[in-house]
Structure 1
């Protein structure tokens, strides 16, 4: 599909909660160009993590990842109810410009960004940009993260806030992208509450439902040259998927799934 003229490029792997955010930006700010990367293989992801954390932890995380995927299918009705209730658009709009690339770090992605010359690149649900890739993007790069940074960097920020008893930090952040894992300066944050029947399979969708406005506001501000960071005043920690044994034990003990 021929790309539309737009000051906004979104780089993503896709997914219902991400399309809800993208479509909110389109509704408020006009057309965007979406660069859709091929998801990283689970094998590559797990091998990389195993080098840092060891195979026992990584195998446990894989168990939870599989359970989460099964949960999305089993509780699809719950997701459909949330989507209808929150009036989310979770599929690409007709005519949406989509450019397919093998990876956000592939030359094809950089070539597309250079050709489109956007005023902002908005990352949402894609792999981490390498330092080299980031250095070759001429405009500001921001990221939508499903967690309150810097306290809940990495994976499953909403889940970890809940199991930590930190319910006031069940939320999301739009932040500037640097070479670290969600370590860039925060631009906007939104906090909300999980709904009845929510679990690790639906937290991302719930978080997107109350975070669409901050995504629109952050992109609008960057395009207007207003790049002002905030200090959440929180400690910094990176999180990963919970292991299957931690997830099941914690769920049985606390009712947080």
Structure 2
């Protein structure tokens, strides 16, 4: 019985999959890491045009420059993914496969060959049915509270809306559709704490619980779950996360940190 991890590049995810492999006594057979294809200047301009109306294009470019010049704002935006996970022993780093498409033929063939009991997901890719069918269990770490905030940058939009009751994370089963599977566990943030501390705490608790749930599934234990209310919530695309919104949320985080009030 084995695990395959689907994730993104980065120190936090490397530390997590190392900890997962250690906790499951080496059950992680493979880590599949999705890389985004390099963007050209034309790609960046196209995205700016998509997220802004034609009259707002210059405004979007202005905020891009403002973000580039404000290191404090850029660092504040990293709070959302902060964690205390440390890099573990290199011997628990599983074999790694780098891809650009989680739904591609290469990934599908490898998953069929490995036939894992569990696929552990921590990435924004929307997995298609032929990938989901490769394991009896597929679980995801979603950085937002379901069903209210589906899709990408969920907590960012909760902060933007000052929705303090729906900031946190969700661990759920993955099914066809975006963030629609049964909820296994949720961790809520305490907005009375400074944002950096709060998000680190949410992520630390969530990732520890994610590992615990993976251990239970691998051991054949029952993992309680709850159906989502599919009539509630909204879906957020990464393309909605404009430079203007990044700037606004970054400034909100800095004020929250300075004044101690969400």
- TM-score, normalised to structure 1's length? 0.71
Residue 23 (structure 1) aligned to one of 18, 28, 37: 18
CA distance in 2, matches of 1:105, 1:226: 29
CA distance in 2, matches of 1:56, 1:75: 23
CA distance in 2, matches of 1:101, 1:129: 16
Residue 116 (structure 1) aligned to one of 111, 114, 117: 114
2:125 aligned residue:
127
Q: Residue 35 of structure 1 contacts residue 109 of structure 1 at CA under 8 Å; is this kept in 2?
A: no
How far is the alpha carbon of 1:108 from its aligned partner?
1.9
User: Is 2:166 the counterpart of 1:148?
Assistant: no
2:33 aligned residue:
37
CA distance in 2, matches of 1:190, 1:151: 14
Q: Residue 12 of structure 1 contacts residue 34 of structure 1 at CA under 8 Å; is this kept in 2?
A: no
SS at match of 1:173: strand
Q: Residue 170 of structure 1 contacts residue 191 of structure 1 at CA under 8 Å; is this kept in 2?
A: yes
CA distance in 1, matches of 2:90, 2:189: 27
Residue 181 (structure 1) aligned to one of 152, 171, 178: 178
2:208 aligned residue:
213
Output the aligned Cα RMSD: 4.0
The more displaced of 156-165 and 173-182 is: 156-165
User: Is 2:210 the counterpart of 1:235?
Assistant: no
- TM-score, normalised to structure 2's length? 0.70
Q: Residue 4 of structure 2 contacts residue 29 of structure 2 at CA under 8 Å; is this kept in 1?
A: yes
How far is the alpha carbon of 1:131 from its aligned partner?
2.9
Q: Residue 189 of structure 1 contacts residue 214 of structure 1 at CA under 8 Å; is this kept in 2?
A: no
SS at match of 2:130: helix
Closer/same/farther in 2, CA of residues 153 and 139 from structure 1, 3 Å limit: same
Q: Residue 18 of structure 2 contacts residue 92 of structure 2 at CA under 8 Å; is this kept in 1?
A: no
Note the residue ranges of structure 1 that are not aligned, 5 or more in a row: 1-5
1:139 aligned residue:
136
1:3 aligned residue:
none
SS at match of 2:23: helix
The number of residue pairs the alignment matches comes to 235
How far is the alpha carbon of 1:211 from its aligned partner?
1.0
SS at match of 1:165: coil
Q: Residue 181 of structure 2 contacts residue 228 of structure 2 at CA under 8 Å; is this kept in 1?
A: no
2:168 aligned residue:
171
User: Is 2:245 the counterpart of 1:246?
Assistant: yes
Alignment map for 1:68-79 (pairs within 5 Å): 75=75
Q: Residue 190 of structure 1 contacts residue 210 of structure 1 at CA under 8 Å; is this kept in 2?
A: yes
2:6 aligned residue:
11
User: Is 2:173 the counterpart of 1:198?
Assistant: no
SS at match of 2:179: coil
Note the residue ranges of structure 2 that are not aligned, 5 or more in a row: 258-262
Q: Residue 18 of structure 2 contacts residue 93 of structure 2 at CA under 8 Å; is this kept in 1?
A: no
Q: Residue 192 of structure 1 contacts residue 210 of structure 1 at CA under 8 Å; is this kept in 2?
A: no
Cα-to-partner distance string for 1:15-42 (whole Å, 9 max, x where unaligned): 2232343233234222213333341336
